[in-house]
């Protein structure tokens, strides 16, 4: 800590009170160890990060609504889960127009109306088909404008904090897409522009176009990122660090595989995504014997740390400074309570080395 660290903390405590975290070492005196932060009342302390170079602060753990709200989770449970997330300090809620064909946005909007609008960060998306017509998809000005207004209506808000281009559209000029987003920003209906699952080359192209025509720049990217899928480390994260683009990652638990619920040679548990005919396709890529063996070894390491496998996986994702938040799904309040505890967990160098050994196939004996 710097020489004036004590005075800085004193000022922070005077202003923020119970929100200032105290940290202690989990498994102190033993190896491996992890540092965990608590607030002054002894509760787990949600931490916040800025997205890229923006001034927008979001909770390290955010709550998503893909494959859950408006679909597999009943409305009452969904609302209770969202309310519990807010109570735990989660201020960032992610959805999309295509999730349950708009029903997810309706549920999220209904739940969040219980709280001051300025206290939450709402993100939604546009790209995928919302109808059968030729213009009911993609990133044309027409589709973006129509879907933006439809999303605002379903959410019951005047603006969304983040509006993502849900995928890249090779059939629409990037300039047209960015001008539509820029107009929404100027109208006050969107605050920040983002993309999801774009390649580094596509993001660079968009940045060049935005700079050339003085349009609002991309400031946030939403890629998949977890221990078993690390492609963003090669180009996306370095680009984000250079250009001030923050990462808000989805599937940090590898569709639940990193929770330890799936076992080699054992059918997927009833009620899990792996057993869901519609969602199963997203999980299958992780259900190889090799990946499940790694998940088993990681779960054993988590137990040594007195963490759940999910908390270990989330803390690992959040070790990246360029990652602003990790999106988790939750079908009941208890799930979000467990996942929220990953915020503030700092894994030691020894733990990170052991994780790398497992992921590189060097392995460990499951204890």
Rounded to the nearest angstrom, the gap between the alpha carbon of residue 25 and the centroid of all alpha carbons in its chain is: 26
Residue 330: HSE in the Cβ half-sphere, 13 Å Cα cutoff = 29
Please answer whether residues 187 and 181 qualify as being in contact, where contact means their C-beta atoms are separated by less than 8 angstroms: no
DSSP string, 210-239: HHHHTPPPEEEEE-B-BTTB-GGGTTHHHH
**Under 8 Å CB-to-CB from 256, ≥6 apart: which residues?**
262, 272, 273, 274, 283
**Is 99 labeled as catalytic in the residue annotation?**
yes
List the catalytic residue out of 38, 48, 69, 99. 99
Looking only at the bridges linking them, the beta strands covering 22-26 and 57-59 are unpaired
Query: How distant, in Å, are the alpha carbons of 70, 95, 139, 143, 177 from that of 136?
Result: 21, 19, 10, 6, 15
**Consecutive H or E run containing 125:** strand 121-126
**Consecutive H or E run containing 23:** strand 22-26
**Under 8 Å CB-to-CB from 82, ≥6 apart: which residues?**
63, 69, 93, 107, 108, 111, 112
User: What is d(CA 212, CA 204) in angstroms, rounded to the nearest whole number?
Assistant: 12
Residues known to be catalytic: 99
């Amino acid at each position: 800590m710097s020489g004036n660290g004590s005075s800085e903390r004193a000022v922070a405590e005077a202003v923020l009170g119970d929100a200032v975290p105290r940290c202690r070492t989990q498994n102190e005196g033993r190896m491996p160890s992890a540092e965990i932060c608590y607030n002054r009342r002894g509760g787990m302390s949600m931490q916040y990060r800025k997205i890229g170079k923006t001034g927008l602060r979001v909770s390290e753990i955010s709550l998503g609504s893909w494959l859950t709200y408006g679909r597999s989770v009943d409305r009452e449970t969904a609302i209770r889960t969202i309310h519990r997330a807010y109570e735990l300090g989660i201020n960032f809620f992610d959805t999309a127009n295509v999730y349950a064909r708009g029903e997810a946005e309706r549920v999220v909007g209904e739940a969040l109306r219980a709280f001051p609008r300025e206290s939450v960060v709402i993100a939604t998306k546009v790209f995928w088909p919302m109808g059968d017509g030729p213009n009911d998809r993609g990133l044309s000005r027409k589709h973006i404008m129509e879907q933006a207004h439809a999303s605002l209506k379903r959410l019951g808000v005047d603006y969304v904090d983040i509006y993502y281009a849900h995928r890249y559209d090779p059939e629409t000029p990037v300039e047209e897409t960015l001008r539509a987003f820029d107009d929404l920003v100027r109208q006050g209906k969107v605050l920040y522009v983002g993309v999801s699952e774009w390649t580094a080359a596509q993001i660079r192209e968009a940045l060049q176009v935005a700079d050339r025509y003085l349009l609002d720049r991309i400031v946030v990217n939403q890629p998949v990122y977890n221990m078993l899928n690390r492609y963003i480390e090669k180009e996306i994260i370095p680009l984000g660090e250079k250009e001030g683009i923050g990462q808000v990652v989805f599937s940090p638990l590898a569709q639940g595989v990193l929770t330890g619920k799936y076992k080699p040679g054992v059918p997927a548990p009833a009620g899990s995504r792996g057993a869901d005919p519609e969602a199963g396709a997203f999980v299958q890529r992780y259900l190889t014997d090799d990946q499940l063996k790694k998940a088993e070894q990681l779960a054993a390491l988590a137990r040594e740390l007195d963490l759940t496998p999910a908390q270990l996986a989330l803390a690992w994702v959040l070790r990246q400074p360029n990652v602003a938040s990790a999106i988790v799904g939750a079908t009941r309040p208890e799930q979000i309570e467990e996942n929220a505890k990953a915020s503030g967990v700092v894994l030691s160098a020894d733990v990170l080395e052991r994780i790398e050994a497992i992921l590189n196939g060097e392995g460990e004996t499951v204890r």
